Structures are given as C-alpha cells and as structure tokens.
C-alpha cells in the first residue's frame, strides 16, 4: 500500500509583544481512498495546497468487504473516498459513518446520496464493454451492445470480468439483469452465461489487460474507462450495454471519530467546480459528476433512453453473497 504525505508549510506568526515566534499547529486530514492512485493524488495534493493542510492518503486494500471495513476502522480515517453505495450501506449499518450535508448539496439528486447524508455521490458511470478489434474481426463479429450478445457460440471462453465479490461493474451485471428481468429470467441468463466459461479476474484492470493483450475478446468494465482506453488505443473499442444497465455511483463519506472540520471541508471541495475543472484538465474529461446529472447534455447524448435498474441496497448490499452464489450455481 502506498502512503502519500502532502505537506504544506505551516504559517508562523509573530506573537505581539513577544520576542519569540510561535508556530501554529498545522491542520491535518487522513483519507482512505478506493479511487485509482493517480486521481486520488491529484485531489489530495490540490486540497492540501488550497486549504494549507497536511493530507495523509492510504489506499483501501483488496479483500472481502469485512476485511476492508476493518481496515477503515483500525486506520482511524477521517474520510472514505471512492466507495460504492453498497459498501457505504453496509458501513452505515455498522454505525461507521457520520452525516454531513455538503455546501452544494442542492446539486446532488436524491437517488444519488443517502437520505440522511451519511454518504454523498460524486461521480456516476455505467457498465460498458471493452472489445479487441482484431479478435472481433477474427471471429467475424460486431462489437456487442447487449448482455444477450455475450451468449453467442463464437464468444465461448472470450469474456473477462472482475470477480463478482469485488463489486463494481461485474456485480452490477448481476443486479441489473436480475432487477430488470426478474429472478426466473435472470437465472436462465446466468445458466447460459456460466456455460460460456468467462474468465474471472481479481480486478477490472486485469480483465482489461486480458482484452488489450488479445487473450480475450470482451471485458465488462466501466464505460468511462472503456471510452478513455478507446481514445488511447486504436485496437480497442468501447460500447455501452443497452439491455440492462445502472447508475454506477462513486461517492465519499465522513467516518465516525473524524477530524470533523477538515473532513467537512474536503467533502465540500470534492463537490466544487474547482475539483471538477482540475480533473478534466488532468485527463479525466469523461468523468460524469453527480452534481451535473440533471443538465449534462454529453452524458444524456451518450446513454440515450437507457433502461436503468434502481438498486434496493438492502438487497444488493445486504444479500450480496447469496445473490452471487445463486448466480454462479445456475445451470
């Protein structure tokens, strides 16, 4: 795990009427991040400079959710950056989160934050496919745009996706299909998909690498990542899944026991126009912000009239292990 210390010099004041200098104690904040390291570093370094604070960042390690929540407890962090609604739901059930209504809360749609403000959505994404153009040509196929297309005989052993238990877009595949088609049809699909012998990887990036290297044809990934990789590599092609998708929300939350003033300041910073412009200037132009959800014409043009599942977090989060096992056992 990487520990990043971003330090800004503390201000030294001259005590009036005294001959000695008194050094003001520097403000600090401790952040645990599930975002990628580059994006996290950009935000942490800029916040440190903007607010004249010391920022310590640690990245949430891989593992099951219980292990990750224990890491958050034991680390005594102020803010958890980059979690999903399912993760925040379970953390909230364990009384780990503290409510805070950000300064620009009016920009956040109700369905993209917790009703008591125990977590707030920052970015919204969708499920996409990343395909290898050369492999598609060899198989004589067009790039898929639906879940059903993954069942073609030509795509036997050709799909890669992250292990369901790690959440993300792969788990979103299950919950979207299940909630939009109903349990019976979802289990029929699961049986057919299982017979295709997909490759399950430890992370989404490993699935991406399998496609980039040509070992697999298709990866189930976040749409924004697929679009960005398509821009960078002419051999890769991105498509939006059109027959069952969801709002994939990335958020932030203040943890119990936090350094409250600095934690609240960081939450306000994350929703600011400044942080949005900063990320866009650093190579993240395809990051759709929750605060722009209602009037983001680019996002609307991209997804069109997409049918989206509305997650019941008590089910998607609370019954996750049961849902995954039922899916994998379908035959």
User: Could you identify the residue written with the tokens 């059930």?
Assistant: 93
Length of the chain: 331
Q: How many domains does the chain have?
A: 2
Asked whether residue 176 falls in the same domain as residue 241, the answer is yes
Asked whether residue 74 falls in the same domain as residue 31, the answer is yes
pTM assigned to the model: 0.85
Asked whether residue 240 falls in the same domain as residue 210, the answer is yes
How does strand 199-201 pair with strand 236-240? unpaired
- The reported pLDDT for the residue numbered 304 is 73
Which of 97, 100, 219 lies closest to 162, judged by CA?
219
Strands, E assignment, 185-293: 199-201, 218-222, 236-240, 245-246, 248-255, 288-289
Q: Are 78 and 255 in contact (CB under 8 A)?
A: yes
Asked whether residue 82 falls in the same domain as residue 140, the answer is no
Asked whether residue 174 falls in the same domain as residue 219, the answer is yes
CA distances from 205 to 161, 168, 170, 288, 326 (A): 9, 12, 12, 20, 26
Q: Are 169 and 205 in contact (CB under 8 A)?
A: no
77 φ/ψ angles, rounded to the nearest 5 degrees: -85, 160
Per-residue pLDDT of the chain (331 residues; tens, 9 = 90+): 445 554 443 333 334 444 444 456 679 999 999 988 999 999 999 999 999 999 999 999 877 788 889 999 999 999 999 999 999 999 999 999 999 999 988 889 888 999 999 999 999 999 999 999 999 999 999 999 999 999 999 999 999 999 998 778 999 999 999 999 999 999 999 999 999 999 999 889 999 999 999 999 999 999 989 998 999 999 999 999 999 999 999 999 999 998 999 999 999 999 999 998 998 898 776 567 777 766 666 666 667 778 889 889 999 999 999 999 999 999 9
Asked whether residue 213 falls in the same domain as residue 322, the answer is yes
- The reported pLDDT for the residue numbered 7 is 46
Q: Are 135 and 172 in contact (CB under 8 A)?
A: no
> Cα torsion at 102, 107, 113, 114 (round to 10°)?
60
CATH number of the structural domain spanning residue 177 = 3.40.190.10
Q: Are 204 and 96 in contact (CB under 8 A)?
A: no
Q: Which domain covers residue 38, as residue numbers?
A: 3-124+247-295
Compute the distance between CA of residue 255 and CA of residue 96 in angstroms, rounded to an integer.
6
Asked whether residue 133 falls in the same domain as residue 117, the answer is no
287 φ/ψ angles, rounded to the nearest 5 degrees: -90, 110
- The reported pLDDT for the residue numbered 61 is 87
Compute the distance between CA of residue 154 and CA of residue 277 in angstroms, rounded to an integer.
43
Which of 128, 127, 130 lies closest to 217, judged by CA?
130
Asked whether residue 274 falls in the same domain as residue 314, the answer is no
């Amino acid at each position: 795990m990487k520990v990043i210390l971003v330090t800004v010099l503390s201000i030294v004041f001259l005590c009036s009427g005294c001959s000695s200098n008194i050094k003001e104690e520097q403000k600090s904040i401790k952040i645990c991040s599930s975002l990628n390291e580059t994006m996290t570093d950009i935000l942490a370094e800029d916040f440190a400079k903007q607010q004249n604070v010391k920022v310590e960042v640690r990245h949430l390690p891989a593992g099951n959710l219980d292990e990750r929540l224990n890491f958050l407890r034991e680390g005594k962090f102020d803010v958890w950056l980059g979690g999903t609604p399912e993760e925040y739901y379970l953390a909230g059930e364990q009384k780990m989160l503290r409510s805070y209504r950000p300064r620009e809360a009016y920009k956040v749609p109700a369905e993209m934050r917790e009703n008591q403000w125990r977590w707030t959505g920052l970015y919204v994404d969708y499920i996409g496919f990343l395909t290898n153009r050369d492999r598609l040509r060899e198989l004589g196929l067009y790039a898929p745009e639906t879940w059903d297309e993954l069942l073609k005989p030509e795509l036997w052993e050709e799909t890669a996706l992250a292990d369901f238990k790690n959440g993300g877009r792969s788990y979103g595949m299950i919950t979207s299909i299940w909630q939009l088609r109903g349990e019976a049809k979802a289990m029929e699909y699961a049986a057919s998909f299982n017979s295709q012998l997909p490759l399950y990887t430890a992370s989404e990036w490993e699935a991406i690498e399998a496609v980039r290297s040509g070992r697999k044809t298709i990866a189930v990934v976040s749409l924004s990542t697929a679009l960005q990789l398509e821009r960078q590599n002419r051999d890769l092609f991105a498509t939006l899944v059109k027959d069952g998708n969801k709002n994939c929300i990335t958020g932030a939350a203040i943890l119990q026991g936090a350094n409250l003033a600095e934690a609240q300041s960081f939450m306000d910073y994350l929703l600011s126009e400044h942080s949005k412009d900063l990320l866009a200037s650093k190579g993240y132009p395809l990051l759709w912000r929750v605060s722009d959800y209602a009037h983001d014409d680019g996002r609307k043009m991209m997804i069109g009239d997409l049918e989206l599942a509305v997650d019941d977090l008590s089910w998607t989060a609370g019954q996750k292990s049961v849902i995954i096992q039922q899916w994998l056992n379908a035959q």
